[in-house]
Amino acid sequence: MRESIGFQKFDKRATRKAIALVGMMFFIFGFVSWVNAILIPYFKIACELTHFQAYFVAFAFYIAYFLLSVPSAFLLKKVGYKRGIMYGFFGMSIGALIFIPAALTRTYGVFLCGLFAIGAGLTVLQSAANPYITIIGPIESAAKRLSIMGICNKFAGIISPLIFAAVVLKVTDADMFALLDSGTWDEAGKNEWLDGLIRRVILPYAVLAVLLFLVGLFIRYSVLPDINPEEENTKEEESNALQDKRTSIFQFPYLILGAVALFLHVGTQVVAIDTIIGYAGSMKIDLLEAKVFPSYTLTATIIGYIAGIILIPAYVSQTNALRVCCILGLLLALGVIFADAEVSVLGRQANLSIWFLCALGFPNALVYAGIWPLSIRGLGKFTKIGSSFLVMGLCGNAIMPVLYGYLADMFDVRQAYWILIPCYVYLIFFAAYGHKINSWSISKVKDSND
């Protein structure tokens, strides 16, 4: 029988090693996820796409969360966490290899298949890593460990678009992009250059495929202990189950409302990051210059994580922090739509609205950590399926950018940010009231533990 352990069997040295290894995993998650911010405008140019078509990069990548979160849970239960992590890395490696035939034929649909395969592998890894980092230490410090993992993830997100741009883009490309926009290039010459542009991804993604395969093998045979989260929660779940006779997760309104909140939150987060290069382009900032803007947003997110580590719960409760961040998110989203002044920030001249978009990273950092515990509390024997249900909510990363792209084509890239407003309004509702709803009967509202 496979040996699995809970946190109480870890000594301090083993815990530190486990945290370091999982931190490396979160770094890789961020590296392959947030590079989408530059892949979207890159594919838009190289494959001659509309805004709507280009944002299928995010859709293909993140829809795996919706389709595969529950199967991933069954896979991990069957083969164990370490072996499951290895399979997840292998899946990502296969996805990276698919980029090679896609680039050779400049076929956008094949690229989307590769992105889905990467997302599928990442779904398995996320399903394993989140409970792992929760269980390898005391539960009361789990939020702090998750914040550290978030910093690893977002730091990778800062550097991945910059590394991608450094590898595949050239200084002379700015002139070629201008020639493309002019519409005066002959079709044969244009296609020859676009073929060469898209094939620049072959070498970096081939290298990435090899590295992901090796990391999977390394994790499988590393000192990282296997775990069994079921053993950690059995007593608590049995106690809760005796107190609550409900027979379905759909009898927990706050869970359903929390899944919707999570869907909208991750959607607003990915819109703020993955659309910002295209928005900069509308201000006549070319791709070579605009590549830094996702890094600004993710830097603001890291600052938000650090603030959370310092302030929660010593100075502010997690629930109050969620409320403040949702309100701040709404105000910043309104700033994106209505602010209209040319300013110079960090030595870059741009419309003030794009800096409001960058600043959205700060409140977005703490919303996820606020929604999750409020949605998962008191589920008893439904905790595991409830967790999988919440993970499915991460498909907001897939849907929201496509909706944004549709609105950008219908109106313009700035007016499309109106999509953020109802999202933040709902998040304010959930933070203030929705998480207290314990029954579908309006009169029965459970008090929160503020």
Q: What's the average model confidence in pLDDT over 423-427? A: 98
Q: By the 8 A CB rule, do 52 and 409 touch? A: yes
Task: Please provide the DSSP assignment of 191-235 as one string.
Answer: HHHHHHHHGGGHHHHHHHHHHHHHHHHHHHTSSPPPB-HHHHHHH
Higher pLDDT, 14 or 236: 14
The 10 Å Cβ neighbour count of residue 69 is 22
Report whether pLDDT(10) > 80.
no
- 93 exposure class (CB count in 10 Å sphere: 0-12, 13-18, 19+): buried
Write the pLDDT tens digit of every residue in 348-376.
889 999 999 999 999 998 888 788 878 87
Write the pLDDT tens digit of every residue in 64-118.
988 988 888 788 878 887 888 899 999 999 999 999 999 999 999 999 999 999 9
Phi, psi of 345 (to 5 degrees): -130, 135
Closest to 357 in 3D by CA, of 309, 297, 432, 400: 297
Write the pLDDT tens digit of every residue in 152-162.
988 998 899 88
348 has which bridge partners? 345
Q: Return the structure tokens found at 109.
A: 């649909």
User: Among 1-15, 111-125, 182-196, where is mean pLDDT lowest?
Assistant: 1-15
Residue 177: its pLDDT value, please? 84
Q: Residue 356 is which amino acid?
A: F
Residue 138: its pLDDT value, please? 65
Report whether pLDDT(228) > 80.
no
Q: By the 8 A CB rule, do 255 and 446 touch? A: no
C-alpha–C-alpha distance, residues 369 and 316, integer Å: 14
Identify the three-state secondary structure at position 449.
Answer: coil
Average pLDDT, the chain: 85
Write the pLDDT tens digit of every residue in 238-251.
445 434 577 788 88
What global pTM score does this model have?
A: 0.80
Torsion of CA 158, 159, 161, 163, to 10 degrees: 170
C-alpha–C-alpha distance, residues 318 and 393, integer Å: 21
Write the pLDDT tens digit of every residue in 274-328.
999 999 999 988 888 888 999 999 999 999 988 888 887 778 887 898 999 999 9
Q: List domains and CATH numbers for the chain.
A: 8-227 (1.20.1250.20), 235-450 (1.20.1250.20)
